[in-house]
Amino acid sequence: MASTQEPAARKLWGGRFSGKTDPLMEKFNASISFDSRFYRADIVGSQAYAKALALKKIITEEEAAKLHDGLDSVLAEWESNSFQIKDGDEDIHTANERRLGEIIGSHVAGKLHTGRSRNDQVATDFRIWVREEGRKLVVVLKELIDAAVVRAENEIDVIMPGYTHLQRAQPIRWSHLILSHAWSWHADCQRLEQLLDRLNQLPLGSGALAGNPFQIDRDFLAKELGFDRLMPNSLYAVSDRDFVAEFLFWASLTMVHISRFAEDMIVYSTSEFGFIQLADAYSTGSSLMPQKKNPDSLELLRGKSGRVFGGMSGFMMTYKGTPSTYNKDLQEDKEPVFDAYDTLMGSLQITTGVLSTLKIRPEKMLASLSIDMLATDLAEYLVRKGVPFRETHHISGEAVRLAEGRSCSMADLKLEDFKKLHPAFEEDVVKVWNFEQSIENRSTPGGTSRITVKAQIDSLKAFLQ
């Protein structure tokens, strides 16, 4: 008995069914509204698969060439925004195959799916997409790191208060602060590159779940599609979305780092601190108060970190409940990845713009330094005289308390005052009250001295090259 479905409306999976699908279910089931972003990966994967079919004599070389050229035509339509999605195009695979059939005829187009399932097809498309788009994120992330390095190198002599618990702690270089964020982004870059390497294994040739029955050359497919290795188990290949979880975790952590940078800059741009001023291009005003200059760019960066994390947690709740092999729940893997990608791509570029254009106020940073921030240096002075640190810490605290009791700076205390605290104090104690020297004393690798900050800059430069 002939099919009750017209060829144009025939579904890839429709042979089993005689009744019509509920229109609401059609819409509920469809993913073409978002997985159309896979159009290039889907076409490239299909072209490679056509070649693999021809190598095994399942289709002729002429048919493979016809499929390849037809798919090029489909790709051209996507690239020119002239591709027309029609009713029945439930996903990108259906849409591309339907259009291919219209261009080269359904007889040849219908051979393309031989031995292939949408299960291994979508897994392949997704990995290709994340791999290629992830490489773009690496480029943008390195541009952000480069902006930090340039700023750190140009402003290496600017000193400022360093904070713990948002309380003034010890003097540091402004460059040291900027580089602390750059090192977080460096780690993000490394993690992304490692993730892209891990996901670069080929699912295609796994069929729906049990493998391909036509001895398709999977090594050939891997080489054609730029994969380093094969997924070793067909059940694993069609169901694994660990790379999605990893990407969403990477995106969440990277956004956390961007958010922490944003928080620093928001705090330092307030009138109470006044260390930096954002460029007008990344600020907005108030609809009521004309004097306001709001750091909206930074606040949006801080806010969007929650959005990305929410996408990750939502996907993980879906992923945890899926049994072996492919389940339609996994259709929910794409939108959070697309949203995270778009958010990261915009956020990284905005962060680069903010960092590159903000103005610093070195005089405000310098004015915020206070002698009490050198209390640790006073303790270290006594250590160099042979006094155990646990004693010097206590003695330095007594000096702080003495100065507070007199409403003066520790630098205003007399040598006699220090001698009463400990006989090891000598006239050279006055050399402690030097912010620049305090910074230069921190010269072990990773410290805030000029030579160690320069070493960080050189190291990041080498990484970027």
Report, as residue numbers or ranges, the catalytic residues: 165, 286
Estimate the crossing angle of helix 118-154 against helix 450-464, to 10 degrees: 150
Estimate the crossing angle of helix 118-154 against helix 92-104, to 10 degrees: 110
**Residue 23: how many other CB atoms lie within 10 Å:** 9
The rounded distance, in Å, linking the Cα atoms of 15 and 313 is 37
Stated as kind and residue range, the H or E segment containing 62 is helix 61-79
Please, which residues have CB within 8 angstroms of residue 427's CB and are 6 or more apart in sequence?
415
Tokens standing for residue 284? 């907005």
- Beta strand 201-202 with 229-230 is parallel
The rounded distance, in Å, linking the Cα atoms of 306 and 28 is 27
Considering only CA atoms, which of 344, 340, 341, 318 is closest in space to residue 331? Answer: 318
Q: What is the dihedral of CA 194, 195, 198, 203, to 10 degrees?
A: -160
Helix%, strand%, coil% for the chain, nearest 5: 65, 5, 30
Cα angle 74-50-212, degrees, rounded to a multiple of 5: 125
Positive or negative CA dihedral for 415, 421, 426, 432?
Answer: negative
Residue 406's φ and ψ, nearest 5 degrees, are: -95, 0
Please, which residues have CB within 8 angstroms of residue 51's CB and are 6 or more apart in sequence?
64, 68, 220, 224
- The total number of residues shown for the chain amounts to 465
Taking every pair of C-alpha atoms in the chain, what is the biggest distance, in angstroms?
Answer: 110
What burial class does residue 321 get, using C-beta atoms within 10 Å of its C-beta: 0-12 exposed, 13-18 middle, 19+ buried? Answer: exposed
Please, which residues have CB within 8 angstroms of residue 454's CB and are 6 or more apart in sequence?
156
Amino acid of residue 348: L
Amino acid of residue 127: R
Could you tell me if residue 226 is left (phi over 0), alpha (psi between -120 and 50 degrees) or otherwise beta?
left
Strand, helix or coil for residue 169: strand
